[in-house]
Chain A
């Protein structure tokens, strides 16, 4: 409140009919809490979802459970990721789980052969929603050095929807850290999906 407004507020003529002014102020402040007259038909679950979406997103961001699932070389760096030097747990990426049913992040680490595609698809379907996929390393991103091979597909994104791509052969464990932080940003709505 500026000085002029203050002066106007405390001016004498306003004090004379203080009760009327008070009523006016109360009415103005009550306007916020006024019950809307329109009627909305909706499901209770939608209401709770809308109310708690912030909470759900927050907990989703901070407890990503990756799946322990290594295909090839990059799996070695994946192991390094949750061992003492890098220690993923301090950021909320809990210990890797052996079964897809408990996980929400699938890290595809290694080249994807035609023989393994059905298994990867099945594991992806077994994961509960919402689920995210990280293509870790050259081979999972684009085929890598095996690009010309007769038994390799050029990237896991031909089979599954991928959220984050990580470059490198193999990427250092720190890169997986940054990839998961990107994924957190994406879940939190800070990053938009880039068209590919």
Chain B
């Protein structure tokens, strides 16, 4: 044991790679998805080590939450993963609702209509989030056009969100005990019908476009060359790093909280969970960048399926907000996780019975996925680093919180 340590230390002392070049990639760099800073140790184009430095977007979300009442925290969850803010709202609200359910005397039910609206909006939000991921990944790899196509389609979704909650990015729509009534939508009214028709029109427009995007980018041989067999994350590695969501499924682990631990009303819908398989035509193996990317493209189709089922059923009538006098969860603690577009979003809340939480912790899927970057990027090229960052699809707002 001692001898091996000695030999190792000798190797380090000798420094056989004298020509190592240290480059700072970020925090101001076109493709670090915000303000990620990577300290690259390069040997020519080959990356010897990539050390991610985070914290440039740290806004003290968790500490800040300790001084705010529960409804006031919801707008701050918007700012975590600002690309999929609806899902962040929902994750937090689910956790608080679960905590409040522990007290028998304060029991309440989230109305049926609110549950349907939540699933509807969050699945649309998932599409919007994956569209952004697709677009920026294309741009990272060097194709600019898919980026603008993705934004073109995302714009239509944002207009829908704007109509339902009045904001385009930071929605503050899903509330504890239901959804926001800031723009009232009477059950069975013309406004509701128009809204559902618009969603249907969007789905009809968007569904064929997924195949077009696959033609444009996914199956493109240059794109496939760039992303297949690059940064293969095995299932064990993904699990050990705590990668979740598309990153985990891209490594071939069949795990989706919506199906395996159904919350809300996800057990009523019929949808598949795409899991990566080897695609020998394009040279892709399970766990590479292409698999992770492809999971997102497939998930958009599944989200479309879920939304179509809701549209076929129609929204149930009734109130959208539970009859809650005040949000005062009982003393206790809770960890609740939900499936956000980027993976398992968990909230750990400690309550002492006051309207403000004693401690709030957000479990960020991006942070866990980003931690794998250092191991994934070793020995690859500079261009591959960009491909990895894009494929694990980080949002720095959520990593730093």
Question: Is B a genuine binding partner of A?
Answer: no
**Chain B residues in contact with chain A, CB under 8 A?**
none
